[in-house]
C-alpha cells in the first residue's frame, strides 16, 4: 500500500481553508498534516514535518505566496509547491516557475482537478491548466536573443516539449509517442541542457517564452 501524499495548506481565508481541508481529508491517498494562514506558519510547518506538497495561496493579504519560493530554496526544503489562486499576473507566474513553483490551480477549479494536480505534483510532474499556458504564450515577449537560441530543436524534442506544456507525465508522453519512458526522460534532459535549466518548471517557463521560435518554426 502506497503512503498517502502529505500536504500542508496555507491560505489566509479561514472559511475557504477549513472547507478545503475537510474536502481533501476525505480523499483516499491524501493526508492533510496541518494548515495555516501565513508564510511564517508555512516555514515552521515545512521545517518540522516531512511534507510532499504545499498548497499555497498566492494572495495572503499582507504578503504573497511567491515570496516563499526563494526561501525554500535557500533552506533546501524540497517540498513541492502548488499555488492555489484566484489569479496571478503572467510576469509573476513566469518568475515563480523559474524559482521552482511546481504548478498553479485556480480556486474556481473543481475538487477532482485539484486532487489530480496534487497527485501529479507529488509525483514530480508539473501542473498548469491549459488556459494558463495559453495566456502565458499569448503574453510572452520574444527577444532577439530568444529567437536566435531555439531553432535547433529536433522534431522529437519539439513533440516531447509540446506534451510537457500539455501537462502530461513522462509515462503519458511515452504512451502517446509510442516510445519508452527512458527515451522520454533522455529527451527531457536534452531539453534541460538546451534551455540551460535544471527543473521542469524552469523548462516550461523558457518554452513559453520561446514558444513561437521553438514550436512553430522549422529547425
Residue 148 and residue 175 in one domain: yes
Query: What pLDDT is attached to residue 151?
Result: 52
Residue 168 and residue 126 in one domain: no
Residue 172 and residue 203 in one domain: yes
Residue 11 and residue 88 in one domain: yes
Residue 152 and residue 117 in one domain: no
Query: What pLDDT is attached to residue 29?
Result: 94
Residue 67 and residue 171 in one domain: no
Query: How many structural domains is the chain composed of?
Result: 2
Residue 89 and residue 149 in one domain: no
Query: What pLDDT is attached to residue 215?
Result: 62
The residue out of 98, 114, 136 marking a domain boundary is 136
Render pLDDT for 149-200 as a digit per residue (tens, 0 to 9): 445 788 888 888 888 888 788 888 989 888 888 888 888 888 888 887 878 8
Residue with the larger pLDDT of the pair 218 and 50: 50
| pLDDT confidence tier of residue 211, bands split at 50, 70 and 90 | low
d(CA 6, CA 122): 9
Residue 48 and residue 113 in one domain: yes
Render pLDDT for 35-75 as a digit per residue (tens, 0 to 9): 999 999 999 999 999 999 999 999 998 889 989 998 898 89
The residue out of 114, 136, 158 marking a domain boundary is 136
Query: What pLDDT is attached to residue 167?
Result: 78
* CB contact at 8 A, 79 and 53: yes
Average pLDDT, the chain: 84
The residue out of 136, 165, 197 marking a domain boundary is 136
Which domain range does residue 155 map to? 141-216
Residue with the larger pLDDT of the pair 147 and 176: 176
Closest CA to 209 of 163, 169, 165: 165
How far is CA 188 from its chain centroid?
16
Q: CATH code at 123?
A: 3.40.50.2300
Residue 37 and residue 53 in one domain: yes
Compute φ and ψ for 27, nearest 5 degrees: -85, 130
Residue 99 and residue 191 in one domain: no
Residue 25 and residue 121 in one domain: yes
Residue 19 and residue 127 in one domain: yes
Query: What's the maximum distance between 2 C-alpha atoms anywhere in the chain?
Result: 52
Query: What pLDDT is attached to residue 95?
Result: 83
Query: What pLDDT is attached to residue 214?
Result: 66
What percent of the chain lies above the pLDDT cut of 70? Answer: 87
Q: CATH code at 152?
A: 1.10.10.10
- Residue 3, pLDDT > 60, answer yes
Rg over CA atoms, the chain: 18
Amino acid at each position: 500500500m502506497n503512503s498517502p501524499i502529505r500536504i500542508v495548506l496555507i491560505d489566509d481565508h479561514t472559511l475557504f481553508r477549513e472547507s478545503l481541508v475537510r474536502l481533501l481529508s476525505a480523499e483516499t491517498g491524501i493526508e492533510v498534516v496541518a494548515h495555516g494562514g501565513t508564510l511564517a506558519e508555512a516555514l515552521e510547518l515545512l521545517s518540522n514535518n516531512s511534507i510532499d506538497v504545499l498548497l499555497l495561496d498566492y494572495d495572503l493579504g499582507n504578503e504573497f505566496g511567491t515570496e516563499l519560493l526563494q526561501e525554500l530554496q535557500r533552506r533546501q526544503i524540497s517540498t513541492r509547491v502548488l499555488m492555489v489562486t484566484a489569479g496571478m499576473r503572467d510576469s509573476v507566474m513566469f518568475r515563480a516557475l523559474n524559482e521552482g513553483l511546481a504548478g498553479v490551480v485556480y480556486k474556481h477549479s473543481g475538487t477532482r482537478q485539484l486532487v489530480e494536480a496534487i497527485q501529479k505534483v507529488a509525483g514530480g510532474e508539473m501542473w498548469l491548466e491549459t488556459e494558463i499556458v495559453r495566456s502565458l504564450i499569448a503574453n510572452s515577449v520574444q527577444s532577439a536573443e530568444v529567437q536566435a537560441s531555439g531553432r535547433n530543436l529536433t522534431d522529437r524534442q519539439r513533440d516531447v516539449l509540446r506534451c510537457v506544456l500539455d501537462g502530461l507525465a513522462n509515462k503519458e508522453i511515452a504512451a502517446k509517442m509510442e516510445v519508452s519512458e527512458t527515451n522520454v526522460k533522455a529527451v527531457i534532459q536534452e531539453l534541460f541542457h538546451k534551455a540551460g535549466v535544471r527543473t521542469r518548471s524552469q523548462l516550461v517557463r523558457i518554452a513559453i517564452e520561446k514558444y513561437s521560435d521553438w514550436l512553430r518554426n522549422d529547425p
